[in-house]
Structure 1
C-alpha cells in the first residue's frame, strides 16, 4: 500500500508536519511513515580527516577530532530517534492508525527518491531546520525536492489548522487535467468545498475547460466551485484565497502556460515565501 511520508527535522514546523501528515493519512486510509534524514556532510557515518592537519606530532589531534565527530554523529542519531518517537506519539494522538519510523544517513532528496515507488504523498515544512539556521525564509531543499520527485507534496506552515476547504489553480492544460484526475482519485478532499480558479480572461473555452474539470470531480463527493479571475497570478491567487477563507492551495508544478513560468521561474520561491497557508504541489 502506498504511504504518506512525513519529513521530520528539528524545525518549528515539525509538529505541524506531524499533524497534517496524520490528517492526510487518516483521510487517505494510508500508512504514515515518519522520515528523519541525517545530513552526511554534517554527520558522516565514518568521519575521514586524513590529510586535513598532517601527520607526525599532530596525529593525536586528528584522532581526537575523529572521535569528536563520531560522538556528534552518535548524539545526532539518538536525537533523531527521540524526535521520531515524539512524532509517532503526536501522529497517533492526531488519529493516524499505522505509523512507521525511518531514519537514514544521506541527502533528503535522494532518500525520498529511494522511497518514491511506495509514496502517495510527501509532507514537508515550508521552513526547514537548515533554512532557520541560515536565515532563509523557505526550506533550502524544497526546490530540489519539487523538481526531482514525481509525487504530490504537501508543504505546511508552522501551525496546524484542520483543512475545511481547498483551491486548485487551474490553467486548462493537459497537465492541469492530470491534476484534476489525481484529485478525483483521492478521498482527501471528499465532502470538502474545492474551488477551481483559472487566472485569465473569461471566454467560452475557459468556462468549458472548467466545466470539464468539475464533471470529473463532482461524482467523487467533492463540492466544486468554479471561478475565473483576471490579474497577476500570485496576487490573484492570494486574493481569491483570502476572499473565500480557503485553507489549502493546490498547484501543478509544471504546465504549458503562465502557470508554468510562474512555478518554474524565480517567483516559485516568492510564492512559497508569501504563503500563509499550506500548499499542495502536484507532479
Structure 2
C-alpha cells in the first residue's frame, strides 16, 4: 500500500503540512501516514562513557549523565507520540482518512529512505523545528530530497489550495517523468496546467515542446506550453507572477552533491527562492 506520508515536527510549518497532506489525500484518494522522527544524535537512548575513564571515582556523576540522557530520550518519544496523535485527530476532523502513525528514531533522511517503498507522495515543511530564522530552507531538507526517490511536496508556512500548476520542463527524462506523473495522477486534476521550457528558440527546444504538447493532448487535457529564454530562476519567477501560479513542479536533483552541482542548481535555487509549494519528482 502506498501512502501519502507527512513528516511532522513542532515547527511553525506543522499546520500547513497537515493542510497540504489532507488536500493531497483527498486528490489522490490515498491512505495517510504520519511520521515523526526522534533524532538519535540529539536524544541518544544510550551514551558512551569511554572517554570519561580519567574521572576516577566519580561514578555518581557518570550515573547521573546516563540517567539524564535516558530521561531526555523517553520524553522526546512521548512528545512525538502526542504530536502524532494530535495531528491525526485534527486531520480526521478535517475529513482526512484514518492515519497510520509511525514514530521512529534515527536521522530524518535515513528514515525517509527506509519508508520510501511504501510512499506515494512525501509532504514536508520547508523548515524543521531546528531551523533558525535566518534559514529559508531547513538543514535536513536537501538531504531528504537527495535520498528519497518518491515525489516530494515541499510546503510553505501557510496553506492555499492550488488552482494552477507550472511544470519547469527541460525535455530531460526527469522532466518527462514529472509531466507523466501529473497527467496520470489526480493531484493536479482540474487545475490550470502550464509547461514552461527555459531556453532559446532552437530545433531541439521545439522538439521538446512538441513532445509535451502531444502527451498532454493524448491525456485529453489542455495546457499552456511555451518557451522563454533567460536565466532559469528569473524566467520561472516572472512566469509565476504573471500567471498567478499556485504550485511549481520540478525535477529533483540526484543522489550526489556532484550531480546536484551539474544538473540541479535550478532546483536548489528555486527551493531557496520560491514561496510556493514545490513538488519535486525524481
TM-score by length of 2: 0.91
Provide structure 1 residue ranges, at least 5 long, that are not aligned to the other structure. none
Provide structure 2 residue ranges, at least 5 long, that are not aligned to the other structure. 255-259
Contact preservation (8 Å) 2:127, 2:137: yes
Q: Which residue of 1 is the match for residue 178 of structure 2?
A: 179
Q: Which residue of 2 is the match for residue 99 of structure 1?
A: 99
Q: Which residue of 1 is the match for residue 164 of structure 2?
A: 165
Q: Which residue of 2 is the match for residue 81 of structure 1?
A: 81
1:25, distance to aligned residue in structure 2 (A): 1.3
Distance (whole Å) between structure 1 residues aligned to residue 244 and residue 224 of structure 2: 14
Q: Which residue of 2 is the match for residue 112 of structure 1?
A: 112
1:162, distance to aligned residue in structure 2 (A): 0.7
Q: Which residue of 2 is the match for residue 224 of structure 1?
A: 223
TM-score by length of 1: 0.90
Distance (whole Å) between structure 2 residues aligned to residue 261 and residue 228 of structure 1: 24
Contact preservation (8 Å) 1:176, 1:252: yes
SS at match of 2:131: helix
SS at match of 2:52: coil
Distance (whole Å) between structure 1 residues aligned to residue 211 and residue 123 of structure 2: 29
Distance (whole Å) between structure 2 residues aligned to residue 29 and residue 112 of structure 1: 22
Distance (whole Å) between structure 1 residues aligned to residue 139 and residue 171 of structure 2: 31
1:95, distance to aligned residue in structure 2 (A): 2.8
Distance (whole Å) between structure 2 residues aligned to residue 53 and residue 162 of structure 1: 58
Distance (whole Å) between structure 2 residues aligned to residue 94 and residue 214 of structure 1: 37
Distance (whole Å) between structure 1 residues aligned to residue 209 and residue 48 of structure 2: 58
Q: Which residue of 2 is the match for residue 242 of structure 1?
A: 241
Distance (whole Å) between structure 1 residues aligned to residue 235 and residue 262 of structure 2: 13
1:141, distance to aligned residue in structure 2 (A): 1.1
CA RMSD of aligned residues (A): 2.2
The answer to whether 1:127 aligns with 2:127 is yes
Contact preservation (8 Å) 1:23, 1:94: no
1:14, distance to aligned residue in structure 2 (A): 1.3
Q: Which stretch shows the higher mean deviation, 45-54 or 96-105?
A: 45-54
Distance (whole Å) between structure 1 residues aligned to residue 263 and residue 156 of structure 2: 19
1:222, distance to aligned residue in structure 2 (A): 4.2
